[in-house]
Chains A and B, each alone.
Chain A
Amino acid sequence: MRSRTLPYLLIAPASLLLAVLFLWPLVQTAFLAFRAPGPLGVDVWSLAHVRRMVSDFDFHTALFNTLGLVVVVVPLQFILALTMASMLRHIRAGRSLVLWIWSIPLGISDLAAGLVWLAILSERGYLNTVLHAVGIISGPRSWLTYETPGVLFAAIVATELWRATAIVLVILVAGLDMIPREYAEAAEVFGATPWQRFRRITLPLLRPSIQTALILRTVLAFEMFATVIAIGGRNFPVLASKAYNWQYFDQNTGVAAAYALVIMGAAIGATLVYLRLLRSPEQAR
């Protein structure tokens, strides 16, 4: 039957492109991570780069920071986006304007977002001007240093919330819009409260969108990089910035590749968890 081969035909072009452009360098990177010069000057299989990575004095800090950001940022973004998406359903006038405003950050690069928040949070920034005006601080004061790690973390979380909530919002709105209104109306007829309707009807039907949104955001959060550099510099190492530093400043591609594999491992792990927890009805059947 045609529908046997059809799906394979449909995914073939995409798979081919991804294999050529991604999988191949990826294999090369795995080689980079696990091959090191042996005693004879020839590369041999080795854990030298991995050991080097683990003995990096801030490896654990970077790991902890990255996980911390993911654990804090992704749920906050999800809740915020879900709130915004449900609010949109109740806006009577100017919905498209609000929608546009809320989805603006979708197009803003992490580099630009980092700089935007740097302008706000720096020593002589706008936040300090406000704090000064209401009498909380007496003069310019720096927040983004190694002496104030808590504020630094909060600043990065705020920047990420500002920049990347929109992508979750758009996916959720697109998903919500696909749910026929009749379902909710029917439930209302049967006396379901708004909360019940949300829990029992909206959320389950939204599941594929939630899955996609969470997976994409989590994977990207593990890669979070330019924002962190712009705001925290070296004061807030994350896995991706360590990988970048090893590759570009320290010029040791092997260790950089090892870091990259850790990021990939974490992202794949998270992905599998989501796939399991949020099986869409289609797959569960």
Chain B
Amino acid sequence: MTARRLFFLAGVVTLCAWVLVPLYLIALAATGGSAVVHAWPKPFLPTGALAATLAPLARFLSIAGVWPALLTSVETALVCVAISLTLGLPAGYALARFRFRGAVLFRVLVLMTRAFPVAILALPLAVTFIHLGLYDTPVGVGLMHTALALPFTILVSASLFQAIPAELEEASWVFGCSRLGAFRRVVMPLALPGIAAAATFAFVISWNEVFAASVLTVRHRTLTAYLLAILPESPLDVQFTGAFLLVVPSVIFIFLVRRRLFSIWGIANR
């Protein structure tokens, strides 16, 4: 039994290392400057003093436009999360709880939108957006990102609601709850962690999306789009610094929502 347990723990540790070691290495590459990028063999520990290590990061952050782009990214992602949840949860609930004509078609259509490469939508959408006055605004990009995130939100929330026994809900109708009341008091609390997960997906999709964000903006670039424009033609060390700075917020963000993502344990064990 102990040998098995040891084997099991080794597996867990290996899988953790599988995620963490590349992150450590990109941090090394990002903070080493061009000397480390071109070094052979590569050092596995930070070489210089702390100040020297931070210099490449500071240099990167002092590039004009990085900070405004960061703000735009957050704005855009929040717009995307808000709209995705508002529109996606009802649709997901409908898919989970009702058997209605066209449900399968709706599901397929929703998936179909995700199957279409975003890059190709760029030109028609840019034109549509300029007509709507949404071109070059965080709301416009957020809306576009909603179209990308919404299928996730709908499908994730559908399987979420589906897993909550309908009997629970029906029972509360018996006890005099309205449909909305039952949803609020019974379904929502159970589904909340999953909804937090759906919100995370929406945020992350928006944060990471590059092409629509590049084409639908001129001055109000999201951070990822801004980096896409400048990174491919920057020296390798700057590219690694950029990659690292793209990774950091995601690590923090996942850390912040980790309880929301998985606090379900409390419910399941009840």
Partner of B18, one of A162, A179, A226: A162
User: Is B46 part of the binding interface, using a Cβ–Cβ cutoff of 8 Å?
Assistant: no
Measured between beta carbons, the chain B residues less than 8 angstroms from A260 are: 116-117, 119-120
Would A271 and B115 count as touching, CB distance under 8 A? yes
Q: Contact string, B137-153, partner A, CB cutoff 8 A, digits 1/0?
A: 00000011011001110
Given contacts A107-B253, A268-B111, A271-B115, contact A101 B243 (CB under 8 A): no
Would A103 and B117 count as touching, CB distance under 8 A? no
Q: Contact string, B74-98, partner A, CB cutoff 8 A, digits 1/0?
A: 0000000001001110110111111
Would A271 and B111 count as touching, CB distance under 8 A? yes
Q: Contact string, A222-257, partner B, CB cutoff 8 A, digits 1/0?
A: 110110000000000000100110011000010011
Partner of B90, one of A4, A11, A120, A174: A11
- For the complex, give the distance between the alpha carbons of A3 and B93 in Å: 12
Would B254 and A106 count as touching, CB distance under 8 A? yes
- For the complex, give the distance between the alpha carbons of A242 and B86 in Å: 36
Q: List residues 110-128 of chain B with CB under 8 A from any CB of chain A.
A: 110-125, 128
Closest to B203 in A: A107
Q: How many residues of A contact B (CB 8 A)?
A: 100
Which one of A38-46, A70-78, A142-150, A209-217 contacts B? A209-217
- For the complex, give the distance between the alpha carbons of A259 and B116 in Å: 10
Measured between beta carbons, the chain B residues less than 8 angstroms from A124 are: 37-40, 42
- For the complex, give the distance between the alpha carbons of A212 and B51 in Å: 47
Would A243 and B91 count as touching, CB distance under 8 A? no
Would A133 and B254 count as touching, CB distance under 8 A? no
User: Is A55 part of the binding interface, using a Cβ–Cβ cutoff of 8 Å?
Assistant: no
User: Is A186 part of the binding interface, using a Cβ–Cβ cutoff of 8 Å?
Assistant: no
Measured between beta carbons, the chain A residues less than 8 angstroms from B28 are: 126
Q: Give the shortest distance, in Å, between A270 (CB) and chain B (any CB).
A: 9
Which one of B52-60, B61-69, B192-200 contacts A? B192-200
User: Is A96 part of the binding interface, using a Cβ–Cβ cutoff of 8 Å?
Assistant: yes
User: Is A8 part of the binding interface, using a Cβ–Cβ cutoff of 8 Å?
Assistant: yes
Measured between beta carbons, the chain A residues less than 8 angstroms from B41 are: 128-129, 132-133
Would B113 and A212 count as touching, CB distance under 8 A? no
- For the complex, give the distance between the alpha carbons of A36 and B207 in Å: 36
A contacts with B: majority SS: helix
Would B251 and A104 count as touching, CB distance under 8 A? yes
Q: List residues 37-81 of chain A with CB under 8 A from any CB of chain B.
A: none
Measured between beta carbons, the chain A residues less than 8 angstroms from B177 are: none
- For the complex, give the distance between the alpha carbons of A96 and B269 in Å: 15
Would B124 and A29 count as touching, CB distance under 8 A? yes
Would B12 and A125 count as touching, CB distance under 8 A? no
Measured between beta carbons, the chain A residues less than 8 angstroms from B258 are: 96, 99-100, 103
Would B87 and A14 count as touching, CB distance under 8 A? yes
Q: Contact string, B239-264, partner A, CB cutoff 8 A, digits 1/0?
A: 11011101101110111001101101
Would A28 and B124 count as touching, CB distance under 8 A? yes
Partner of B8, one of A90, A170, A263: A90
Given contacts A107-B253, A181-B268, contact A14 B90 (CB under 8 A): yes
Measured between beta carbons, the chain B residues less than 8 angstroms from A107 are: 200, 204, 207-208, 249-251, 253-254
Would A212 and B40 count as touching, CB distance under 8 A? no
Measured between beta carbons, the chain B residues less than 8 angstroms from A173 are: 262
- For the complex, give the distance between the alpha carbons of A271 and B105 in Å: 12
User: Is A157 part of the binding interface, using a Cβ–Cβ cutoff of 8 Å?
Assistant: no
User: Is A7 part of the binding interface, using a Cβ–Cβ cutoff of 8 Å?
Assistant: yes
Partner of A21, one of B110, B143, B155, B251: B143
Would A21 and B239 count as touching, CB distance under 8 A? no
Measured between beta carbons, the chain B residues less than 8 angstroms from A275 are: 104, 107-108
- For the complex, give the distance between the alpha carbons of A159 and B136 in Å: 33
Would A26 and B121 count as touching, CB distance under 8 A? yes
Would B155 and A215 count as touching, CB distance under 8 A? yes
Enumerate chain B interface residues (CB-CB to A < 8 A). Answer: 8, 11-12, 15-16, 18-20, 22-23, 25-26, 28-29, 37-42, 44, 83, 86-88, 90-91, 93-100, 103-104, 106-125, 128, 143-144, 146-147, 150-152, 154-156, 158-160, 162-164, 193-194, 197, 200-201, 204, 207-208, 210, 224, 227-228, 231, 239-240, 242-244, 246-247, 249-251, 253-255, 258-259, 261-262, 264-265, 267-269
A-B contact pairs, 30 of them (CB 8 A): A6-B94, A10-B90, A10-B93, A14-B110, A17-B83, A24-B124, A84-B15, A100-B258, A102-B16, A103-B261, A112-B243, A119-B26, A126-B25, A129-B41, A133-B41, A175-B159, A177-B262, A178-B160, A178-B268, A208-B163, A212-B155, A215-B111, A225-B117, A256-B119, A256-B120, A260-B117, A260-B119, A271-B115, A272-B108, A275-B108
* Sample of 14 further A-B pairs with CB below 8 A, known A14-B90, A178-B164: A8-B100, A17-B87, A21-B144, A87-B15, A110-B208, A126-B25, A171-B156, A208-B159, A208-B163, A243-B117, A256-B120, A257-B120, A267-B115, A271-B111
